[in-house]
Amino acid sequence: MSSQPQRSDLVAKLTRPVARPLAATYRWVDERMGISDLTHQLLYEAVPRRGAWAYSLGSATLIIIVLQIVTGMFLLWTYVPSTTEAWESLNYIEHYDEFAAIVRGMHLWGAYVLLVIIGLHMIRTFVSGSYKKPRELNWIVGVILFLLVLGLGITGAMLPWDQAAYWTAQVVTHVVDYVPLLGNWLQDILRGGPQMGPETLTRFFAIHIWLLPALLVPLVGLHLILLRRHGEHGSWVNYEGVESETEEARAERMADAEYPYPAIPSDPGYAVPVDIGDFFPSQVFKDSLVSFALVLLVFIMAVVVGAPLERAANPAALNYVPTPEWFFLPLDQLLIQFPQAWMIPVGVFVLPGIGTTLLILVPFLDRSPEREPWRRPEVMVPALFAVLFLIFEALLAVNRLFNL
Ligand code: HEM
Ligand code: HEM
């Protein structure tokens, strides 16, 4: 017993020469930058308590995007964006650089996991009616983020410049030609000329590593600023009984609300969740656990399966049939179901265009204050059909491509 204080005295004495200057440096920086205030603000905002695991999907999306940026930067150490050396540089990684091969695997599997998680995050916010007043704009920013991530997925798939990448680039730049009025011009911009060539890879590389990230990063920032401004809506379980609440009870809840609530302008009763807690430690713990499990999954997939690399691109191999990335399978199937003349205009532009427009308009189409999913069949049923339709189309495509 008596040795305890002596030991801690000794530790304090030994660490003092390092701890004191460190603490003084931190105080100096903090006085100038306000790190402590900021950390306090970030950690102690109010969040809804019920259904908290479901709200970890947003931060998991964020963490995997950071993972993509970090692994992408590491890849740039070795990857050479030229049609003569891109494949060579990745082939070198696969055979001689174990660390870089794992990083490459993590970048690929990170992209796959990201697409699944962003999809689940979207479904979660849709089901809980989080797109309603005052969060309409945040939903729209979310839809744009989703499109940017899809864009990163498809442009990334062209970078290895193996057979799959080359023929994917062919298909994508061919389809672009059908854009009304601007098609030819857009195709020339993407290809770097009328035909595919060395500049095509340089262009897709530029789009992948700076153009799309330069749009993605500030928009993620805007998404988070809007989230902070209105507070987490959470889900309907946090607003049980609000309809039968008396005016006094509601006014009391509004008056007792902690920052960032009350969310304004909200439908009556939905400005403050009934049961709130601090973001730290409970929600932070759940968010960290989910994100850690996903990063671990990405790492395991990178080690066990890795990223494939087909033969180097061969423009003369005209009988090569490219298999689309799994997240484009529904679109690929949709395409072949139309007669030749309609295939690209309707399959690539009209239907996906209508789908995207409807997605953006969701907050304006469903304006009722109702948040419980089973009391909103007019939006839940069409959405369920849309998801089932996409899954069905993807299964048909798998069956067609792999003869299952
Ligand atoms: C780059 C991709 C994205 C990132 C990093 C991101 C991040 C986040 C985070 C951290 C939250 C708070 C925690 C949570 O509710 O899960 C959130 C909330 C939200 N996100 Fe996203 N998100 C992304 C994409 C999307 C997409 C694709 C949509 C829908 C189309 C969307 C719609 C929303 C909405 C409506 C909220 C408010 C939820 C609420 O208050 O209940 N987000 N997002
Ligand atoms: C959400 C963000 C991102 C997604 C979804 C994404 C997705 C992808 C995908 C699917 C590939 C193809 C992997 C393969 O088949 O080997 C790829 C390749 C690549 N990405 Fe990204 N990426 C993202 C961000 C970035 C960033 C920010 C950088 C650069 C800082 C980057 C650099 C690269 C490089 C150099 C390659 C070629 C190497 C290779 O193919 O293995 N990526 N990306």
CB atoms near residue 291 (< 10 Å)? 21
Tell me what pLDDT residue 83 has: 97
Query: Amino acid identity, residue 323?
Result: T
263, 226 contact by CB (below 8 A): no
Which residue in this structure is represented by tokens 């864009």?
151
Tell me what pLDDT residue 4 has: 59
Q: What is the CATH number of the domain that holds 277?
A: 1.20.810.10
Q: Are strands 276-278 and 46-48 parallel, antiparallel or unpaired?
A: antiparallel
Tell which one of 74, 159, 172, 298 to mutate to probe ligand 2, the residue whose CB is within 8 A of the most ligand atoms.
159
DSSP for 169-221?
Answer: HHHHHHHHTTSTTTHHHHHHHHHTSSS--HHHHHHHHHIIIIIHHHHHHHHHH
93, 101 contact by CB (below 8 A): yes
Whether 341 is in a domain gets the answer no
Q: How many angstroms separate the alpha carbon of residue 353 from the centre of ligand 2?
A: 26
Whether 286 is in a domain gets the answer yes
CA dihedral (295, 169, 214, 58) positive or negative: negative
**Rounded Cα–Cα distance for residues 226 and 222 (Å):** 6
Q: How many angstroms separate the alpha carbon of residue 328 from the centre of ligand 1?
A: 22
Nearest-CA residue for ligand 1 atom 24 is: 142
Tell me what pLDDT residue 106 has: 98
* Helical (H) or strand (E) element with 278: strand 276-278
Q: Which of 401, 358, 365, 404 has the alpha carbon at shortest distance from 132?
A: 365
Whether 201 is in a domain gets the answer yes
- For ligand 1, which residues put their CB under 6 angstroms from it? 55, 57-59, 61-62, 65, 118, 121-122, 125, 128, 130-131, 135, 138-139, 142-143, 145-146, 220, 223, 227, 232-234
Tell which one of 67, 121, 358 to mutate to probe ligand 1, the residue whose CB is within 8 A of the most ligand atoms.
121
SS3 339: coil
**Rounded Cα–Cα distance for residues 114 and 111 (Å):** 5
**Rounded Cα–Cα distance for residues 219 and 27 (Å):** 33
As for how many domains the chain has, the answer is: 1
Whether 71 is in a domain gets the answer yes
Q: Which of 153, 149, 190 has the alpha carbon at shortest distance from 170?
A: 190
Whether ligand 2 lies within 6 angstroms of the CB of 213 is answered as yes
> Distances from the Cα of 171 to the Cαs of 175, 324, 336, 344, in angstroms?
6, 10, 13, 11
231, 263 contact by CB (below 8 A): yes
Whether 370 is in a domain gets the answer no
114, 61 contact by CB (below 8 A): yes
SS3 261: coil
Which residue range(s) make up the domain with 235?
46-325
Tell which one of 223, 267, 284, 356 to mutate to probe ligand 1, the residue whose CB is within 8 A of the most ligand atoms.
223
Nearest-CA residue for ligand 1 atom 13 is: 58
Nearest-CA residue for ligand 2 atom 19 is: 156
Q: How many angstroms separate the alpha carbon of residue 3 from the centre of ligand 2?
A: 56
Whether ligand 2 lies within 6 angstroms of the CB of 160 is answered as yes
Whether 350 is in a domain gets the answer no
Q: How many angstroms separate the alpha carbon of residue 157 from the centre of ligand 2?
A: 8
Each residue's pLDDT expressed in tens, for the chain with a length of 404 residues: 445 567 778 888 888 889 999 999 999 999 999 999 999 999 999 999 999 999 999 999 999 999 999 999 999 999 999 999 999 999 999 999 999 999 999 999 999 999 999 999 999 999 999 999 999 999 999 999 999 999 999 999 999 999 999 999 999 999 999 888 899 999 999 999 999 999 999 999 999 999 999 999 999 999 999 999 999 999 999 999 998 999 999 999 999 999 999 999 999 999 999 999 999 999 999 999 999 999 999 999 999 999 999 999 999 998 898 889 999 999 999 888 888 788 888 888 899 999 999 999 999 999 999 999 999 999 999 999 999 999 999 999 999 998 76
Q: How many angstroms separate the alpha carbon of residue 122 from the centre of ligand 1?
A: 7
**Rounded Cα–Cα distance for residues 188 and 244 (Å):** 61
CA dihedral (348, 351, 353, 356) positive or negative: negative
Model pTM score = 0.95
Tokens of 334: 């949709």
Q: What is the DSSP letter of 264?
A: S
Query: Amino acid identity, residue 316?
Result: A
